[in-house]
Amino acid sequence: MTEKRSRPTIADVARHAGVSTTTVSHTFSGKGVVASATRERVRSAAKSLGYRPDVVARSLRSNRLGVIALVLRPLETLDSSLPEGVDYFLRFAGSAALAAMDFGYGLMLVSDPTRDESPAAALACDGFLITEPVTNDPLIEMLLGEGVPFLSVGKDPARAEYDAWLDTDTELMTDRVLRHLEDAGATRVALVAGTDPNSWNLGAEAAYRAWAANRAQDALVTIRPETTGEAGGREAADELFDRNDPPDAVYCLTGRHAAGVLARVRERGLDVPGHVQIVGGSDSEHTRSAVPPITSVDLQPEHLARVAVTLLVNRLDNLDRPVSPGHLHGRLVVRGSTR
């Protein structure tokens, strides 16, 4: 059987030529200013890799297709596009698709078009909706370089030059969770964060560290990859509760980690919420079905998706349609895991 060769991407050419993806894009699109020597280096790198610019997608994008591309960035680091027990992405994508239909658009769910796995047709979409972009996100760099309209839910933490993003007030929500635990009697709170370098993880950790410093508490932070799920939560619990000064409350940014922490502390003979209180940063089937059910942040993805789609199509259509009212920072759902 002949092995299928992966299609070289614009990011591959950029790495090979030692330039940015924007420079590669400008070299082939004719936009921007690229020095002749740099342009030749890019073309040489493209030729050696067998890369061809997608002229079909560029031609299609010059006309309106009536399609929005949705990139759910966190899914690209998980072990599945349908992670067990996690319904945030389904809720967001479903609401975004229905909202797009209301405005006469279709919605295409794709992986990052700078990667091999994404269909080339994604680049022909009228605009992009991106959730939780990562630091120095290559897709945002490419879209800025190409002048393709987009909106990100959360901001690329390393990029200050764009304003097409929704602020979900991660720091505010983190502070509310910590105040809830404090009001419930917690005196030593730990944080279990993920490894994805996005504004959700980075903003929550920064807010937690500031909260701990204001109370003269040592910051207890443990990091686990999102893909580890409940097993990662169990590992985090062992790390935190093997200490001589264990916490009496744990805030986990994912529901799967929270479920793992709950299971492990109960195996260790600790009562929840008697000895340890637990909060999940993203409500899920894991948090709702746990025993006891875990207090969690409902990120309200349906509302968030409607707002994001409305703002993006307003930009595409040069209109000012009203946006659904309501906060974007989610709401705390108090359950049995906290007092």
pLDDT, one tens digit for every residue, the chain (339 residues): 444 456 788 888 889 999 988 888 777 765 567 888 888 898 888 888 888 666 545 545 556 778 999 999 998 877 677 777 789 999 999 999 999 999 999 999 988 888 766 666 777 889 999 999 999 999 998 899 888 999 999 999 999 889 999 999 999 999 999 999 999 999 999 999 999 999 999 999 999 999 999 999 999 999 999 999 999 999 999 999 999 999 999 999 999 999 999 999 999 999 999 999 999 999 999 999 999 999 999 999 999 999 999 999 999 999 999 999 999 999 999 999 999
SS3 217: coil
pTM for the model = 0.81
* Exposure class string for 93-125: b at 16+ Cβ within 10 A, else e: bebbbebbeebebebbbbbbbbbeebeebbbbb
How would DSSP label each residue in 307-324?
HHHHHHHHHHHT--PPPP
- Which residues partner with 109 through β-bridges? 70
Give the gyration radius of the chain's Cα atoms.
Answer: 22
